[in-house]
Chain A
Amino acid sequence: MQVQVLLFGIVADLIGEDSLSLSIEKKDTVKNLKTALHTKYPQLKNYSTYAIAVNEHYAQDHLVLKENDVVAIIPPVSGG
């Protein structure tokens, strides 16, 4: 299945896009998605300090993804 992945800040710069579509297996977790991302975009491998949000909420590694979920890669924030 496909999930949409939004990219921000330095991660958007590293990949050169502000969003991408990623193929993952049914019942894949956030952790599986990270592995798939690192395979497809090796430049992310050395940049593992990001968080993941699913449908606009911070998500833990064990969360199971569903079709049409909106995933976002959240590099260390620096608002304020």
Chain B
Amino acid sequence: MKNISIKLTSEPLSLQECYAFVEDPTCGGIDVFVGTVRNHTKGKSVSQLDFSAYGPMALKEMEKIAKSALAKFEVHKIAIHHAEGVLKIGDIPVVIAVSAAHRTAAFEACKFAIDRLKETVPIWKKEHFEDGEIWVNAHP
């Protein structure tokens, strides 16, 4: 779809690519969410994260989210890019960019997209510590 950019890649994500995709003269604002790898969780020091995905289904679910965002909010374009593989502290696992005529819709759509991504897209991260590793959310 021409208003949707979806990507799952083992290459570093590009903020500029997402920004350039959603940029449009009809829009008065662009909202960008950038996820970054944090160096700690629950008081423990994290050394790296390893993202794995059910690729074909992850792409479908990301596209569903993008389509929902375009249907629910007055937004023009949306990019949802996610990385897979090993990421170090400060690396970027996810970028979501949304453009809209007005800022409220862009903020709301961006929040909707990242919240939904964390619920439905089949991607898993394994946290690596100095003394071991754990699948995040695996034991609710």
A residues near B, CB below 8 A? 6, 8-10, 13, 49, 53, 56-58, 72, 74-80
Contacts and interface: CB of A to CB of B under 8 A. Distances in A.
B125 interface: yes
A58 B140 CA distance: 20
Nearest to A72: B54
Contacts of B35: 80
Given A6-B54, A53-B57, A56-B57, A77 B135 contact: no
A77 to B, nearest CB: 6
A40 B114 CA distance: 37
Contacts of B57: 53, 56-57, 72
B136 interface: yes
A77 B123 contact: yes
Nearest to A9: B124
Interface of B: 35, 51-54, 56-58, 60, 82, 93-94, 114, 117-126, 135-138, 140
Q: Chain B binding site: helix, strand, loop or mixed by DSSP? A: mixed
Contacts, number: 74
B94 A8 contact: no
A9 B136 CA distance: 9
Contacts of B94: 79-80
Contacts of B60: 56-57
Nearest to B62: A79
Given A6-B54, A8-B52, A56-B57, A78 B122 contact: no
A77 B118 contact: yes
Contacts of B114: 80
